[in-house]
Amino acid sequence: MRLSPFDGPCLLREALPLAWSLEDEAGNDWEMCRYLQVLADFELPHDGSDDSQSLQAIKTDLTLLWLAKTLKVTLPNEVEAVMGLESVAWHAQVALPIGQQGVVVFCLSKEFPMLLKLNAQIEQCISQASGYVIYAKWLPMRNMLLDSFEKMIFRYHRRYIQQLRELGV
């Protein structure tokens, strides 16, 4: 069964490296915030109107790509997932107890792999023929990280709406 988008802005992916962890701690807010900002900049199309800035951006992008290739990040298994401003849902092979608090570990980019680790609490666990659908709510984030996270969700949501328009849906 396919996951449905949440009401409101969300990121919907058929294959997102994501896992639930009781052993991990939430990531460093400053580092995750900066990563989300760099990822947003990298994903923006640059028109090359300012050659000096464009050349600097190209050099930075290339340096980041080379650095990312040297990192050995073990990514979680890919699952279908939907992330919203207040909650997250994903397909899982095992049930999780309602009320359990833990960390959602996920990666947004295989080119720039960094595991983002956000605190969450299990809200629902729905049994299906192929496993379970887990629904969790995000636990409070510090303002700096919350701002970057919300911008990321809105950015991916705009792209999703644009794709629907291009498909004529």
pLDDT digits (tens, 9 = 90+) for 102-160: 999 999 988 888 899 999 999 999 999 889 999 999 999 999 999 999 999 999 998 88
The answer to whether residue 117 is domain-embedded is yes
For residue 79, being part of any structural domain is answered with: yes
Residue 112, in any domain of the structure: yes
Q: What is the pLDDT of residues 56-70, one digit of tens each?
A: 666 676 676 666 666
State the pLDDT at residue 65.
65
Q: Would 4 be classed as within a structural domain?
A: no
| pLDDT value for 58 | 62
The domain in which residue 77 lies consists of 12-44+55-161
Distance in angstroms (rounded) separating the CA atoms of residues 95 and 126: 8
Number of domains present in the structure of the chain: 1
Q: Residue 138 belongs to a domain with what CATH number? A: 2.40.10
Q: pTM of the prediction?
A: 0.84
Q: How far apart are CA 38 and CA 44, in angstroms?
A: 10
Is residue 166 a part of any domain in this protein?
Answer: no
